[in-house]
Amino acid sequence: MAMPFDEFGRPFIILREQEQKTRLRGLDAQKPNIAAGKAVARILRTSLGPKGMDKVLQSPDGEVTINVCWDEIDVFMVPANDGATILEQMDVDNKIAKLMVELSRSQDYEIGDGTTGVVVMAGALLEHAHKLLERGIHPIRIAEGYEMASRVAVDHLECISHKFEFSATNVESLIHTCMTTLSSKIVNRCKRSLAEIAVKAVLAVADLERKDVNLDLIKVEGKVGGKLEDTELIYGIVVDKDMSHPQMPKHIEDAKIAILTCPFEPPKPKTKHKVDIDTVEKFQTLRQQEQKYFDDMVQKCKKVAKDVGATLVICQWGFDDEANHLLMHRDLPAVRWVGGVELELIAIATVSNDICVFCVRWENCAKISRVDTREAGQGNKMMIEETKRSLHDALCVARNLIRNNSIVYGGGSAEISCSIAVDAAADKYPGVEQYAIRAFADALDAVPMALAENSGLQPIETLSAVKSQQIKENNSGCGIDCNDVGTNDMREQNVFETLIGKQQQILLSTQVVKMILKIDDVISPSEF
């Protein structure tokens, strides 16, 4: 990096070891940044939509984490289609590429779905920004134009959205929206049953008055063995543990549960100690004392909480064989090594703040549901992980609809409609921003084009046909017929997305692109 000099010709230092740093400024700084963002988007582009491809990535220790095409690749590989997951595993090094990873993560965090689409959109915005930069338009004007266009698009989405009426008894609309999310995942073949599970689980814990859903109350648990079709929803809490002693009863009804967050054993002295046992009597005394101690503990459990008496002990820690034996003999069945989260859920389910003895029914106890996803046979743990991720997306979609029951149509139709609206709005801006607004409209076309391309259709031809159909029929529901159903009306195909999810995609991608465009100075350590 060139050394700066003051007016007397003396060099001065601004950055530590500045002579060892390289510096890129202006367009030279922006271009590599844009290229890095575009490169990430290009990777994800082929994963978009119901016919999107999966990816294979190999970790440094040789384990394959993501595969390219589930059907063709050995089952020991992990299939993943979710944009956030692919980026998470990619071990991205470049700073701007990391921003794209963050972008996908934010969409996942806020909405839970649309993680691929948001990156594809950002990539397209960067690509068009690049062209405008080459034409000499200042990055700030591009950023401002994008901002204006994103506001037009978000408002337009509101105009073309529809309210989805649902109630506890009529959940068909919720199920269809969840099915749209699942249709692009590997679990596609069971999308109806998984969508039903997701909707029922969300409704079980939803507060419909406050329009809020606490997804922490839903646990998705995977188990190797069985098939995807075996997935079931369990109202209650599943603690996947055996009884601590094989002879303890396996079936307990109307249990009164004592939850212990302490170990079931005598307290250990903190000081160093030594016990000399040189006679049989001494040994027996010690043994009796220990037994008495355990006996007291067992009695306490059976009598605590106003003499209600526990009929089942759930312990966060372990207990030794002696205690276990005694518990069995004193008819107090127990489960040990139960995780803290599970204990908390049991506490919530049994509606008590204290961890002590509860007097409630074990089943039907609370609005906590647990989805059991089982996929194995030829499948494996990795498949279960992908199923869990897909279910998470479906749960998020159902939650979003409960928060705000507006939907827009999918299959790229919403993007095409926004593109037309943004393009029309561009004329109203007399300044240079107009170019950026038009570029934004073109970038919106990237999603339907990718959907068409990934489904083996001619992207430009298909897009222009659908666009003109939307204008001619004044129908914002026309999109890409990815599955070759015979109609491109997404309303008929039941392909929906949540309004807030789509709006978030546009807002987040615009923010990230604006951030990248505003970087005009990159100072990095020199290569040597």
Please identify every residue annotated as catalytic.
82, 115-116, 393
Could you tell me the smallest distance in angstroms from the CB atom of residue 172 to ligand ADP?
17
Mapping DSSP onto H, E and C, the string for 243-262 reads: CCCCCCCCCCCCCEEEEECC
Could you tell me the smallest distance in angstroms from the CB atom of residue 398 to ligand ADP?
15
Q: Return the number of the residue (379 or 479) whose C-beta is nearest ligand ADP.
A: 479
Evaluate the CA torsion angle 37, 40, 46, 49 in order and state its sign.
Answer: negative
Closest-by-Cβ residue to ligand ADP is 410
Q: Return the number of the residue (412 or 459) whose C-beta is nearest ligand ADP.
A: 412
Q: What is the DSSP string of 76-91?
A: TSPB---HHHHHHHT-
CA torsion 493→494→498→501, rounded to 10°?
Answer: -40
Q: Return the number of the residue (37 or 411) whose C-beta is nearest ligand ADP.
A: 411
Could you tell me the smallest distance in angstroms from the CB atom of residue 143 to ligand ADP?
24
Helical axes 446-454 vs 27-45, angle rounded to 10°: 40
Q: Compute how many other C-beta atoms are within 10 angstroms of the C-beta atom of residue 493.
A: 23
Rounded Cα distance between 257 and 349, Å, is 12
Could you tell me the smallest distance in angstroms from the CB atom of residue 63 to ligand ADP?
24
415 within 8 A of 112, measured Cβ to Cβ: no
* Structure-token match 């207990």, residue found: 319
Could you tell me the smallest distance in angstroms from the CB atom of residue 307 to ligand ADP?
55
Q: Return the number of the residue (112 or 333) whose C-beta is nearest ligand ADP.
A: 112
Q: Return the number of the residue (179 or 332) whose C-beta is nearest ligand ADP.
A: 179
Rounded Cα distance between 240 and 223, Å, is 10
What is the contact surface with ligand ADP in residues (CB under 6 A)?
47-50, 52, 81-83, 113-117, 180, 183-184, 410-412, 447, 451, 479-480, 482-483, 493, 495, 497
Q: Return the number of the residue (177 or 373) whose C-beta is nearest ligand ADP.
A: 177
**CB within 8 A of 188, min separation 6: which ones?**
50, 182
Q: Return the number of the residue (260 or 463) whose C-beta is nearest ligand ADP.
A: 463
Could you tell me the smallest distance in angstroms from the CB atom of residue 107 to ligand ADP?
8
Query: What φ, ψ does residue 170 adopt, rounded to 5°?
Result: -115, 95
Rounded Cα distance between 170 and 168, Å, is 6
Could you tell me the smallest distance in angstroms from the CB atom of residue 234 to ligand ADP?
27
Could you tell me the smallest distance in angstroms from the CB atom of residue 165 to ligand ADP?
21
Rounded Cα distance between 528 and 525, Å, is 8
Q: Return the number of the residue (114 or 222) whose C-beta is nearest ligand ADP.
A: 114
Rounded Cα distance between 416 and 185, Å, is 23
Could you tell me the smallest distance in angstroms from the CB atom of residue 417 to ligand ADP?
13
Q: What is the DSSP string of 393-411?
A: HHHHHHHHHHH--EEEETT
* Structure-token match 């303890």, residue found: 248
Pure H helices in 237-380? 280-307, 321-329, 340-349
180 within 8 A of 494, measured Cβ to Cβ: yes
The CA–CA distances, whole Å, from 102 to 52, 86, 105, 470, 527 equal 22, 12, 5, 34, 27
Q: Return the number of the residue (120 or 357) whose C-beta is nearest ligand ADP.
A: 120
The CA–CA distances, whole Å, from 230 to 334, 377, 403 equal 29, 12, 30
493 within 8 A of 505, measured Cβ to Cβ: no
Rounded Cα distance between 478 and 470, Å, is 6
